[in-house]
Amino acid sequence: MRDGRFATAINCIDGRVQVPVLEWIKFHLNVDYVDLITEPGPDKALISGSENTYNSIYEKAALSIKTLGSQSLSIVAHNDCRANPVTKEKHIELIQECVEELVKWKLGVRILGLWVNEWRYVEVIIDTEKNFK
């Protein structure tokens, strides 16, 4: 028996973005819990990181979805990321590439690409529920 509604987020290890992402996902996706998969610069790690990192992220996401019934998977990038110090425009490009990659995983869930701006507000860059119909 499950203890509530779950979502999964692939987020940066940077503590500045944890709470805004958790609060946004819980409120906007109407879930009780958010499983976090943290990685330094997750947008870069997923697209151009090591095969081990990629496989680890996939295995954790699949586990969250299969065992806890997570109904969405978000990839998050943020302003002033020390592990991936690129422009906002480059982060947006990487988020879009990540969402395309996550769709290929065929996990059967809604996928979102999120950006946390300089004021720690979460912005939706892409949402498969709206962009991939």
Q: What is the CATH number of the domain that holds 32?
A: 3.40.1050.10
Percentage with pLDDT > 90 across the chain: 93
With bands split at pLDDT 50, 70 and 90, how would you rate the model's confidence at 132? low
Q: Is residue 66 part of a domain?
A: yes
Q: Is residue 21 part of a domain?
A: yes
Dihedral sign of CA atoms 19, 82, 35, 70 in order: positive
Q: Is residue 50 part of a domain?
A: yes
Q: Is residue 1 part of a domain?
A: no
- CA–CA gap between residue 88 and residue 94 (Å, rounded): 10
Domain carrying residue 41:
6-131
Q: Is residue 114 part of a domain?
A: yes
Six-digit token string for 65: 């979805």
pLDDT at 97 over 60: yes
pLDDT in tens, 45-66: 999 999 999 999 999 999 999 9
Q: If you average pLDDT over every residue of the chain, what do you get?
A: 95
Percentage with pLDDT > 70 across the chain: 96
Domain count, the chain: 1
Q: Are the C-beta atoms of 76 and 117 separated by less than 8 Å? A: no
pLDDT at 94 over 60: yes
